[in-house]
Every structure is written in C-alpha cells, then in structure tokens.
Structure 1
Amino acid sequence: MSDLSHPIFARLYPRLDAGCAKAGGDANRAELLAGASGRVLEVGAGYGANFAHYPPEVTEVVAVEPEPRLRARAARAAARAPVPVTVRPGRAERLDVDDASFDVAVASLVLCSVRDPVRALAEFRRVLKPGGELRYYEHVRARTPGKVRFQRYADVVWPFLVAGCHVSRPTDEWIVGSGFTVREERRFEFPTSGRANPASPHVIGVAVRD
C-alpha cells in the first residue's frame, strides 16, 4: 500500500506550517531549491509547500506523498505551481520510478518520519543520475549532550503526536554514509528561539550522488 493515513496530522500540519512560513520557513524552502534544475523528484511533498519555490530551470517535478489528505491538497497546489508538477502516491522506502531518472531529489522535513530513513536514502541514490543532487532540509540530532538527551526523551512520545516524526535522528550523518558527498550545508536553529523545542536543530544542504 502506498497510502499512510494520518487524518489529524493532515488537518493540523498546514496550519502549523503557515506559522513556520512566516517565521522564516518560506525562506528556508527557497534556499533549499535555489539553483535546482532539470527533472526533480520530491519525496514526502506534504500539501505542496515547496511547489511555489521551484525555479524556472526545473523542467518537471514528480511529487510523492503517502498521506491521502495531504496529497489531495498537494494536487491543488500543483495546479498553481510555476513549473509542471505531477502528484502521486508512494513511500520513500520504495519509489516506483526508474533508476537514474532524475537530476535532483528533494527531501524536505520528511526523513524524520519515514520508517526506514537509510533505505529511503538508498532509494534516492538509486533514482538519481550519476552526479545528481540530493537537496535536503531536515531537523536533525543536536550537537550538545544536553540537547541530545532532551531529544531522546522527547522521542518517547513525539512520534505518536506528530505522525511518526523523530527528533533525534542523525540524518545529516546518514546522508554521508549513503553514497553522497556533501557539497554545501548550513546548520541552524529554527525557530531561532528554539531552546525548548527538541526539533529546533535544522540543516539545509546539497549532496551529490557518488
């Protein structure tokens, strides 16, 4: 099954994300996609928040989203996108697309919640052309012992409240270990006053398929 139903989260997330957008989330998404070109696969597209930020050099976006309510909203957002976007069901761990068929893969606030992120990264590598880009915008494990402990405690309950999201995953380290070379990366706290937020450590980067 490609669907993964989270009806409460699907209703709440667009509202929560609207607040994040005003706090700088839109700028982060624009940074993530700046310079992207060619054929793009976006995995875990949600309700289509990234679509408006794709530059004109992108010729096509195939957007995969397993949650049916979010996918329906993404389909409506695709109709307003500045580039051609096709929305389809699917999961990160088993992408129904050909090997080496995309120039860019986009993971935007999704590797925190997939069931097997290492397998998902292997799928990203499979579908990218040699030299293709993985563009990622994720919250990740902190670098200070105190914050890491806070994240681990939070992960006891956080995934049940936020559709499987985990806050203590070292996603940036897994990317390096999955056959990618990081070309550029920026670590930051978001929101900036995020000391009491276990999901505040973020990273935006571009990694190239080896």
Structure 2
Amino acid sequence: MSAHETPVLRGLRTENLAGLSGRVLEVGAGTGTNFAYYPDTVRQVVALEPETQLAPKAREAAATAPVPVTVVESTIETMPAEEAAEPFDAVVCSLVLCSVDNPEDVLRQLNSLLKPGGELRYFEHVASSGWRGQLQRVADATVWPRISGNCHTHRDTERAIGGAGFVVDAARHQWTFPAWVPLPVSEVAVGRAVKAG
C-alpha cells in the first residue's frame, strides 16, 4: 500500500517530519516510506521494524535516504541496548500506534528514550465521533485488525500520548478520504508532543 500513497498522505508525512534535527528514533518504519522525507538537519535515524517481510524493503529505502538510516529488525520492547545508549532528540510514529497491543506502554517507553525536552512526532489514525466512530468500533471488534496488520482505528491516541508524559504542543486532524467514504481509517491526527519535565 505504501507504494500507492496519495499526495495527501505524502504531504502529511512531509509535514510530520519537518524541522526535525539530531538523532531520531522511528518506530514501525514499515517499508521505509518516511525515509525520503527526513530533512538534512537529521544526523541519524534509527528505524525499528519488527516485520521480517517489511524490514528488507526498509533497508532498500534506507540506502537511498537523504540522511543516515539504520534499520533494526526489532520492536521497541526488544530494541538492542546499544541503540538506546544515547538518548534521542525525537521519536517518530507514523500509522503505528494503532497497531501495537498496548500503546500507553509503548509511549511510556518512547518517552524514556528521549532527551529532556525531546519531542514525539505523530501521524496516526484517531477515533472519530458519530456514525464513523460507531463504524470504527465495529470494525475494530471484527475483521479490520485481521486484514490490516492489527490496526485499531478507534483509539484515543492523543489522550494516550498525554498520559505517557508528553504535552501536545501542536496538533491537527485531517480527513484522508472524503467524509462520506465509509472507511474506518479516514481521520488522522498529525502532531508534535514534547517530553514533560
């Protein structure tokens, strides 16, 4: 699917990564779709991707990225200690918090890997209201996670971010499909949160 992203999704990726600098941890890198959009102010990206079918594609994308990218076949829970030895300036999550089993725990772990004042950049599916929210709840309880890599579309991601010790500094929601299209993944949030304290 990443090879066929719409201009809207590519624009959201660019927006999410704009202004980053220093050492960055990307969680759930997938096929490496983000790599081409990192600004040259980024010194290094450590990209975690646990899926054995996706990690080789991410490594191919890393080879042509405009910044140095190291792809590690790992989850945040099993990340090698040497990669976490130096704190990160930023963490990037793009369409990944919907698919982890416990987003609150993952977010707390990410917070612990950041420098003081470090930031979380997120581009994530979020829970909608009204009829679409009802559709999301039904989809999440039935077939959607099974056909879309454990994606759960009706999560209150920004509440979880705040609960993990981040302060949301800037955020906006956007529809990626027309509002009338009955897909549970139409609404996303793009934002920046800062490590509190």
Normalized against structure 2, the TM-score is what? 0.93
| Per-residue CA distance 1:7-42 (angstroms, 9 max, x = gap) | xxxxxxxxx22332x341111100000000000000
- Equivalent residue number for residue 61 of structure 1: 45
Aligned AA (1:164): N
| Paired positions, count | 193
Structure 2 residue 117 is matched with structure 1 residue 131: yes
State the match for 2:151 in structure 1: 165
Report what 2:66 is aligned to.
82
Q: Which amino acid aligns with 1:76?
A: E
Counterpart Cα distance in 1 of 2:49 and 2:41: 23
Residue from 37, 46, 49 that aligns with 2:21: 37
Spell out structure 1 runs of 4+ moving beyond 4 A. none
* Structure 2 unaligned blocks of 5 or more: none
Within the candidate set 70, 80, 92, 1:106 is matched to 92
| Counterpart for residue 130 of structure 2 | 145
Aligned CA RMSD, in angstroms, stands at 1.4
In 1: Cα distance, 2:57 partner to 2:89 partner: 25
Find the residue that maps to 2:108 and give its secondary structure: helix
- Residue 105 of structure 2 aligns with which residue? 119
What secondary structure is seen at the aligned counterpart in 2 of 1:159? helix
- The alignment-based identity, stated in percent, is 46
Equivalents in 2 of 1:82, 1:194: separation in Å?
A: 38
Higher mean Cα deviation, 120-129 or 86-95? 86-95
Stretches of structure 1 that go unaligned for 5 or more consecutive residues are 1-15
Tell me, what secondary structure is at the counterpart of 1:50?
Answer: helix
Q: 1:107/1:141 Cα in 2 relative to 1: closer, same or farther (>3 Å)?
A: same
Q: Equivalents in 1 of 2:20, 2:181: separation in Å? A: 32
Q: Which amino acid aligns with 2:92?
A: V
CA 1:128 to 1:56, structure 2 compared with 1: closer, same or farther past 3 Å? same
